[in-house]
Chains A and B, each alone.
Chain A
Amino acid sequence: MEITTEKTADLLIARLRGRLDSTWCPAVRDALAGYVKAGEHRIQLDMGAVDYISSTGLRVLLATFKQLKAVNGRFSISPASPAVTDTLSLAGMDMLLAPAPVAAPSISPVNASAGAPALAPAAPVGQPFSTSGLRGELFTLPAGPALAVRLVEPVPTAGSLAFPAGTFGLGVGALGVTVDDCEGRRGEFIAAGGCAAYQPTDGANRPDFTVSEGALIPQARLLSGLTGTGDFTRLLRFDAPPEARTVSLTALAAAVLHIAGTGSAAFVAVTETAGLVGAALRRDPTLPDTGGAGGRFAFPEIRDWLSFTGERSFRDTTTLLVGVVARPGAAGALAPQLRPLSPAADAPVGHVHALIVPYRPLQKGYMELAPMVSALFDGAPPQALLHLLGDPRGLSGAGESDFNRGAVWLAPFTP
């Protein structure tokens, strides 16, 4: 089997030559998965020189077809050898042969969940955008209530908060209505698009989450952090610039502030992730100290309280980010919750949490926040929840988180 590729303006053409049987399926499957991860959502497979395809091969083709259909991409086989045409027809998979109708990606609807309304003809159209750290397409969203961001009252007995669509949150807390629901398990928390998740500290090694369904809306009690309400004003679809392979968290935060045009902004992002550096609580902060004169964050007690990735982790995952960022000195009342994202003096300050789910490709172009976020909770459950940090310790540091591409909804606010 030989696999060669050719890139046209609109398509990636992959040419196979040989037999697509169980011997070669893993190689072809890995090659196709690699193209999708590299952002190719429109793939044409040239099987004119393939003289045999087994059922194992059919499954590989069907899996790629379904994956790309889910993100409004395209996967078709053209040309196909007589043997391939016959096998696909007999197996009832002619749809792979038909040249699929081409939808322009910039106006395609969101991962249409059943109840989603038909897209209005006035769907936003993107404008090209680029800065030093990233490039992409910028959409202006319909005007709504202005964004407001508040500090969480640091009172453990304060009431529970609801996180319906149109709100977001990040900080330390737990899902639950009563204090008892949360006792002994408070950890890193994130909420956006009507979904909320936290990393329990009671020994569970996976995040717990609630997704809005009907009248069910996530309820949580937070010890600290930031919450926001209101509408995002812009959507940025971003990619790494040609000279770099990835977009750093600092570059993303700088772009968010640049687009917002103010000193402070909040964002929710869904990204295909290259690597994350961050920390997560191991113990509920309301529990007593474990001993040691220096307090809970002194070495080595800190090992009982915090888990730190220590190196770039969670490569090739998909991530939900919720963040509040500001230019240095512009954080106002929110300053206690914001820290420098990187060591440079003019680097933005921020507080960003990340929920990590197994990799799935993101569709291109315009998309809506709430359906996109809730789709992240379908399928395999979240793997981890981190408070992202840039580790500035020179050679021994882990550096900062970075991303291959993604979508970021953002708006300015007045602190």
Chain B
Amino acid sequence: MLTLTGLRKTFNPGTVNEVRALQGVDLTIEDGSFVIVLGMNGSGKSTLLNAVAGTFIVDTGRIELAGHDVTRWPEHRRAKLIGRVFQNPFSGTAPNMSIAENFALAARRGQSRGLGFALSKDLMAPLRDRVASLKMGLEDRLDNAIGSLSGGQRQALTLLMATWLKPELLLLDEHTAALDPKSGDQVITLSEEVIGRDKLTTLMVTHSMQQAVSLGDRLLMMHRGRVIHDFSGSAKKRLRPEDLIDLFDEIRRRELLDESAATMLQSLYV
């Protein structure tokens, strides 16, 4: 379970570049829940994921994950509990190492790695099976440098690595946004399979309305560093892409209703 209480984060406080990225986020995510996070650019979605992952320490608030208060934990310590896939397919893997070596690192995430042989038989056999299940023909290329693969292949492998140890929390930050539509669909199908099979608690940021309605059992819409809509259960199931577009339109209209519009409406609206 992930519990966020009163999270706030301001970047560059007191300067002209001040950005109040999180303005009080309270959220409880149950074990096994698959949560979609939607919002316009700059709404605080990625900042929220980064706050949970420990990319920075929040100004105020508390983050609890699987019974630990991780608010002050550095990023590498939280990595023991959290699997992540980034938007950039090149971010999640070490390009000059082979597929197998990358997996060997992932398999001991959060543990001391020691001086033993990394590519043990215990790892290689299940690794070959899992990579074969991607049906990308990569099981015969486990010794190839991961940098030689396409973005879609790397993203699929990153997802396998991030979930190899069944993390307490999986963070997906627009992980298909940089892929072509077909590779994106493959990675989405794979994400659904892995999350469903291992019942992973997941936070997924996306800009795709289609993904937002068809995936997950809960949907959060963020705006200006706050969660402004929270749909779960039957309300989430009933959502269609048009409903989400209506919600975005409504947000936009709220923004357009500025002080001068308010003055105009006071004189013209009866």
Known contacts: A298-B262, A389-B265, A391-B264. The answer to whether A310 contacts B257 by CB under 8 A is yes
User: In terms of DSSP, what is the predominant structure of the interface of chain B?
Assistant: helix
Known contacts: A205-B246, A309-B253, A310-B252. The answer to whether A337 contacts B260 by CB under 8 A is no
A308 is contacted by which of B243, B253, B267, B270 (Cβ under 8 Å)?
Answer: B253
Within 8 A of A (CB), among B61-101: none
Tell me if A74 counts as interface (CB < 8 A to partner B).
no
Name the B residues within 8 Å of A279 (CB-CB): 265, 269
Quick check: A308 and B256 within 8 Å, CB to CB? yes
Tell me if B259 counts as interface (CB < 8 A to partner A).
yes
Distance A307 CA – B258 CA, assembled complex (angstroms): 11
Q: How many residues of B contact A (CB 8 A)?
A: 22
A336 is contacted by which of B260, B267, B270 (Cβ under 8 Å)?
Answer: B270
What residue in chain A is nearest B269 (Cβ atoms)? A279
Name the A residues within 8 Å of B258 (CB-CB): 299
Name the A residues within 8 Å of B266 (CB-CB): 297, 302
Distance A365 CA – B259 CA, assembled complex (angstroms): 45
Quick check: B270 and A393 within 8 Å, CB to CB? no
Tell me if B238 counts as interface (CB < 8 A to partner A).
no
Within 8 A of A (CB), among B232-259: 243, 246, 250, 252-259
Distance A336 CA – B269 CA, assembled complex (angstroms): 11
Tell me if A306 counts as interface (CB < 8 A to partner B).
yes
Quick check: A302 and B265 within 8 Å, CB to CB? yes
Within 8 A of B (CB), among A222-253: 224
Tell me if A340 counts as interface (CB < 8 A to partner B).
yes
- Range of interface residues on A (Cβ < 8 Å): 20 to 34
Distance A145 CA – B253 CA, assembled complex (angstroms): 43
Known contacts: A224-B270, A310-B256, A337-B270. The answer to whether A392 contacts B264 by CB under 8 A is yes
Name the A residues within 8 Å of B270 (CB-CB): 224, 336-339, 351, 387
Residue-by-residue, is A257-276 near B (CB-CB < 8 Å gives 1, otherwise 0)?
00000000000000000000
Given contacts A224-B270, A302-B262, A389-B264, 14 further A-B contacts (CB under 8 A): A279-B269, A297-B266, A297-B269, A303-B257, A306-B257, A310-B252, A310-B253, A310-B256, A310-B257, A339-B269, A340-B268, A390-B268, A391-B261, A392-B264
Please, could you name 30 A-B residue pairs with CB atoms under 8 Å apart, sorted by A?
A205-B246, A224-B270, A279-B265, A297-B262, A297-B265, A299-B262, A299-B263, A300-B262, A302-B257, A302-B262, A302-B266, A303-B257, A306-B269, A307-B254, A307-B257, A308-B253, A308-B256, A308-B257, A310-B252, A310-B256, A337-B270, A339-B267, A339-B269, A340-B268, A387-B269, A387-B270, A389-B264, A392-B264, A393-B260, A396-B260
Q: Nearest 3 pairs between A and B by C-beta?
A: A310-B256, A299-B262, A299-B259
